[in-house]
Structure 1
Amino acid sequence: MLTRAQIDPVVTAALAEDAPWGDLTGEVFLPLHATATARLTAREDGVLAGIDVVSAAFRLTDPAIEVTAHRADGDRFAAGEVLAAVTGPARAVLQAERIALNLVQRMSGIATATRRMVDAVEGTGARITDTRKTTPGLRALERHAVRCGGGVNHRFSLSDAVMAKDNHLAVLAQQGVDLTEAIRRARAQLGHTTRIEVEVDGLEQIEPVLAGGVDIIMLDNFSLADLAAGVRLVAGRAIVEASGTVTLETVAEIARTGVDVISSGALTHSARHLDLGLDMTVTAGPESGGGAAGAVAVASD
């Protein structure tokens, strides 16, 4: 679950970027005491992620705004469903709506893309995971969205685990360092709870890596035949992760090779924003002497 400590700094920065000195349009166009009622509505099918982020966008703009969630993170929904209701001062609701929509649309797009991949590999035993290919500053939100879609998270940062990739191995080779011995030396410097993962790009690298005592082997950009052969070579001695050009069209075939984990950067770097909108009604306050305004559909801009 996301915490306020993760959500609030991101939302605060986004609100400050969008309205550094307030919302000039709202201040000059909207009556001070006007009240807005809005519905967060799905315009296509999907999986929800970011309902607490929506609440934060409105809460941090004006604590007088009330947000009532009708769906929870991880819930599937259909086009036309109302996901949340928002009520409060019209100026504040309109000031916050774009930030709320930007974030929940992105997060729900990631959750929906993840859910599709998870569904595609159902029954194979393979797990779908993300990568560090996230939007700077939004990693906690985007990775939460992956979990909402049924996926799991890879290491959160460079500080969490040892993961030697092709560039690391190229440096070792250039320096004439034996790969097996390098892994053993790395292991000797780590605590017993820290895992080591090594990326390989050929079947011939698997035995030297296993001899070093790795926990996870990443088979990067392997053909389906080589993935299956790699799984047989590893034979349960390490977790096998497949990576490289994973798409919704290819993920099921990859899973059927017997790998344990399939990582996809596309879940976060290429997910399409889901189409959600705020359908809004504004009512002039008693001090303005006005009546009810018509319903206004707020679209993404």
Structure 2
Amino acid sequence: MLEEVVATRYVTPLREGGSLPGIVEADDLGTYVMKFTGAGQGVKTLVAEVICGQLARKLGLRVPELVRMWLDPVIGLSEPDQEVQELLKASGGLNLGMDYLPGSIGFDPLAYRVAPEEAGRIVWFDALINNVDRSWRNPNLLVWHGDVWLIDHGASMIWQHNWPGARASAAKPYNASDHVLVPFGPDVAAAAAELAPLVTEELLDAITAEVPDEWLADEPGFDSADALRRAYLEPLLARAATIHERITFDAPVRTAPAQPPGWLTDHLTPWPHTAGRKDRRDGGANEEKGGGR
């Protein structure tokens, strides 16, 4: 079950995304990026964040820790921005927090190298969840302490917006032509061989159980939260076995950009990082929980 915290101070909005997430401090002394139930995209984006984020973590990909975050809208009374105040008022109760990674920067494919093995894992994972939001225009990747971290999965699993057509939607190929990691020659076949066997019914059952009942209530066509959880589980389980065969590219996979700036890339090491890792817990920058703790 996701850890539960209480928001104690609203720090500042993040205006990069359309949902207007905010940086928030919590009662565990952590700092989080808070995603709100009252945002225009609705609660289904938070469901996708939990399922996809937790699945990625179980598969060994780096995603900031997710928490259940309780919000009392009173903490936003001093916020001068009327739009933010209205968002906080509409989001009282249970929301989603993502560990804030201080000092992280947005991934730039012209400045950083990614090994084909790691690129393959990320492309395969995005194909599994049908993530259309990892393009060169909007990578939704961060570089933190030399590692690539995945964020923002709210636009994934598009079939959740039309359950009667979910089976047909989940069976469609995944066009990776626009994926930000295509220039690095992602080894999708190796990723499938490694990761697909890990996506079991038991794993998905445990992950969907982490979605709060409140976010699954009153969905047309389902008589319980558990029935809806099953509807999330089945497309992912079916896709895991064969999605690597249905990843398409409009153009041949290119090699990595030539001569990226060495001063930015020389410190990066290929995945997995098996040697020389510093335990970031010693410095308060726990690699699982990030530097906000």
Q: TM-score, normalised by structure 1?
A: 0.22
Question: Which structure has the greater CA radius of gyration?
Answer: 1
- Structure number with higher helix proportion: 1
- Structure number with higher strand proportion: 1
Q: TM-score, normalised by structure 2?
A: 0.22
